[in-house]
Structure 1
């Protein structure tokens, strides 16, 4: 067993996933489950993420087995890939915490705030880039929902890590400094917003909800890679997805947009035999990575 490798477990009778623990920025550990294509490599790598954090190893193992189709597709295309588990989102932690700063006190590290969930992604990317058989200069990101927003948060503060990224149905509420004061369906309890019933299908309504356009612009200035934004036509937050793309496209000519009609949020991660829309979307994803590999 490699000194990097924490455990190896079967995906099925003839496929394996290597589980690793990446040291986080504050010295703890976050797990990820890596699958490699055939051959010695070095292989390009895709970080696969969905939603908020938490759930631990049980969540990670479930993703490896029940959502294996996306990894099968990427492996077939020649990409190493990994599901990861990161810490739980902190409500408005990105908005209020600012960039993470470190210093030394009495010979030990001191931080301006605790690391956030997207910084666990940073830790995994730095860790996997050092593994044998992985091309550390060709790292990619594929995130759905909150993990789509996490891609932009990561890019706004940590440049030079990724070759390209895909933000599918990105829930970019915090990134875009959106206010929901005039949305009766959004409630606040104990300082935590409940946006489960938010309906923002209109791009213009989402644009009007931006409270700090200068800060949004500064954040998007940090995007140093091509990004493909994926929407979902009937999603209640389609206006936010599309606005994320439009604001990025105003800054980068290599920003791309695709959208499909599908009943499932997170449709690019099928749990069974993919339907025609899912197959088309997955082909677009592989093509995007191939064009930037």
Structure 2
């Protein structure tokens, strides 16, 4: 595994981020920047993700440095952690692509479709689990916005990888089969939806927009871990966030919900000094992970 540790970046005068390349399901590579807590391992690990993919190494390095507070908090709590970069989202790729199937033709692998962005997360999780300093049985996921939805997409098709996960402000439009075409604020050009101005603040409206409740139930049946869903009181998509939780809670008694009032989408990833709400939310996240950390603390 050490052969793929291809770069080291000083985060401060005495702390480093080690950059690794994880082989994706189709044989390419996706990077992640690993930070390790003090003390001997193996350590539990938190995958830290935000939004859609793309941006490459420039995006990843910017996250490591400019949004380092969340990883500082996790390190202090004894968790190894990593920001990662994954491929760009494909419009309705999860909805239309189905489960990824593989077979062999002429001695080489053949796939039913290309891997999607959440499957790059799978690749990173499998790779990091093999590192000697990481406890592969105690992997966690922390995702915001599109990356919150990605957690559920991952769980619906790839079980047994994670111990617990946090979905903060999960943009679960595709997961929940929401019909957005009739919304006057949603436009479609060349097959791509523009939902930047979408508003869906109420749970009842989000529930009415579901086109296939049976399929949503099937997807959520794959969730095999406790999940904490975080909302944001004034967010224009708060109804989607809350509905994601309510549908999950109907299946799992260990689903949890917390919501705070804050002006920033993605408030759990402070840029610079955190405010009181951000400190409280991050403390709640660490407490959630700690409660599901298992033997060894």
Q: Which residue of 2 aligns with 1:210?
A: 210
Deviation string for 1:132-185 (max 9, x for gaps)? 110000000000000000000000000000000000000000000000133100
Q: Which residue of 1 aligns with 2:54?
A: 54
Shift in Å at residue 217 of structure 1?
A: 0.3
Q: Distance in 1 between matches of 2:287 and 2:12?
A: 27
Deviation string for 1:55-98 (max 9, x for gaps)? 00000000000000000000000000000000000000000000
Q: Which residue of 2 aligns with 1:231?
A: 231
Q: Distance in 2 between matches of 1:56 and 1:4?
A: 17
Root mean square deviation of aligned Cα: 0.8
Listed as ranges, the gaps of 5+ residues in structure 1 are: none
Shift in Å at residue 3 of structure 1?
A: 2.0
Listed as ranges, the gaps of 5+ residues in structure 2 are: none
Q: Which residue of 2 aligns with 1:275?
A: 275
Q: Which residue of 2 aligns with 1:245?
A: 245
Q: Distance in 2 between matches of 1:62 and 1:114?
A: 28
Q: Which residue of 1 aligns with 2:77?
A: 77
What does residue range 1-293 of structure 1 map to in structure 2 within 5 Å?
A: 2-293=2-293
**Range that drifts further, 5-14 or 108-117:** 5-14
Shift in Å at residue 2 of structure 1?
A: 3.1
Q: Distance in 2 between matches of 1:181 and 1:202?
A: 18
SS in 1 for 2:216: helix
Q: Distance in 1 between matches of 2:280 and 2:270?
A: 12
Q: Distance in 2 between matches of 1:227 and 1:2?
A: 32
Q: Distance in 2 between matches of 1:98 and 1:219?
A: 11
Q: Distance in 1 between matches of 2:167 and 2:62?
A: 22
Aligned residues: 293
Q: Distance in 2 between matches of 1:183 and 1:32?
A: 37
Q: Distance in 2 between matches of 1:208 and 1:9?
A: 48
Q: Distance in 2 between matches of 1:2 and 1:227?
A: 32
Q: Distance in 2 between matches of 1:87 and 1:95?
A: 17
Deviation string for 1:213-267 (max 9, x for gaps)? 1000000000000000000000000000000000000000000000000000000
- Say if 2:181 and 2:187, in contact at 8 Å, map to a contact too: no
TM-score of the superposed pair, with normalisation by structure 2 = 0.98
Q: Distance in 2 between matches of 1:239 and 1:191?
A: 25
Shift in Å at residue 9 of structure 1?
A: 1.1
Shift in Å at residue 12 of structure 1?
A: 1.6
- Say if 2:32 and 2:83, in contact at 8 Å, map to a contact too: yes
SS in 1 for 2:131: coil
TM-score of the superposed pair, with normalisation by structure 1 = 0.99
Shift in Å at residue 210 of structure 1?
A: 0.2
